[in-house]
Amino acid sequence: MTLICDCGSTKAEWAILDGNNVANRFITNGFNPNFTDGETIKNIVGEAKDIIGNQAIRKIRFYGSGCGTEANQNKVSMILAIVFKINDIEVYPDTLGACHALFGNKPGVACILGTGSNACVYDGTKITESVASLGFMIGDEGSGCHIGKRIVHDYFLGLMPDDLRAKFDEKYHLDREAFLKRVYQGEQPSRYLAEFTKFAAENIENQYIIDAVGDCFEAFISSSFRPEPLGVVEKSTPFKCSRFLDFARNDSNFACDAFGFVGSIAFIFQDILLQHLANHHINCTKILKSPMDGLIECYKN
């Protein structure tokens, strides 16, 4: 049996594939090896092993945030090998998981909008270009962490409308000093900040939320694709962007309008996301809340 894992900073989704049948599927806490120590990772993997019990796992295919470097791939692979006591383990970046889930063996531009964010070009086999990941303090535009930072920023500075600010106050009772200590001295600050997107989701019809989330998506589009300014490109003109333009020009088989998104933020706020993508003439062909369904189909085939 093959164990597949899609691991983000907040949660990890696991599935056991027995031939073409899903034998088990469950969720644990997630982790990012850039920010999570080895012992914590081992505990989370151990929790998964306890849930699996005596089912005979022969292969592990692990896709994780922060697993884009060889060092982190080796770190996670070693922990998986210790816990599961098998050698057939492959660890990939979450971007490749998004590619496999969205496009299978066809080319496209895969985007992740979850706790963090990323984007890459996939030629149907491998990632050929990707946006440099700068983490939640400098990058991760359009992510849950980014949206959470924006909401809390506006709350403390009085930029949030009074009626919404009263709702926020009632829900969280945030003390500024305690909040700052939690962010700058606590564990997993990106995950903590992303939790405030729940407030945005609960008030998704409020114009302030629509604008705030939209601003974050605009930042993602701008930093990832650098499109022409709004109004410059005619509606009939296919989307072109400087970061991925060379790839699209050099490969006639690449469908430049094959854009897909995975992640809870893309899924929950998809109406706002699709509107901002349309403003830049970007055609999004698929949005998945989680890559796992697509990964299961990929490994079945």
Q: Where are the domains of the chain?
A: 2-99+293-300
What mean pLDDT comes out for the span 148-164? 94
Q: In the predicted model, what is the mean pLDDT of residues 25-40?
A: 91
pLDDT tens-place string over residues 238-290: 444 444 434 443 444 444 458 899 999 999 999 999 999 888 888 888 999 98
pLDDT of residue 135: 67
How far from 152 is each of 69, 77, 156, 169, CA to CA, in Å?
32, 37, 6, 11
Residue 197 banded pLDDT, cuts 50, 70, 90: very high
Cα–Cα nearest to 219, from 159, 164, 145, 143: 143
Mean pLDDT of the chain: 85
- The predicted-structure confidence for 62-103, as pLDDT tens digits, reads as follows 999 889 899 999 999 999 999 999 999 999 998 899 999 999
Give me the pLDDT at residue 258, please.
81
**What is the rounded distance in angstroms from the CA atom of residue 275 to the CA atom of residue 281?**
10
Q: Which CATH architecture has domain 2-99+293-300?
A: 2-Layer Sandwich (3.30)
Whether residue 125 has pLDDT greater than 70 = yes
What does the pLDDT read at residue 166? Answer: 94
Per-residue pLDDT band for 55 (boundaries 50, 70, 90) equals confident
Residue 92 bridge partners (DSSP): 63
Give me the pLDDT at residue 251, please. Answer: 47
User: How is the beta sheet containing 59-64 ordered, strand by strand?
Assistant: 21-29, 11-18, 2-7, 59-64, 89-93
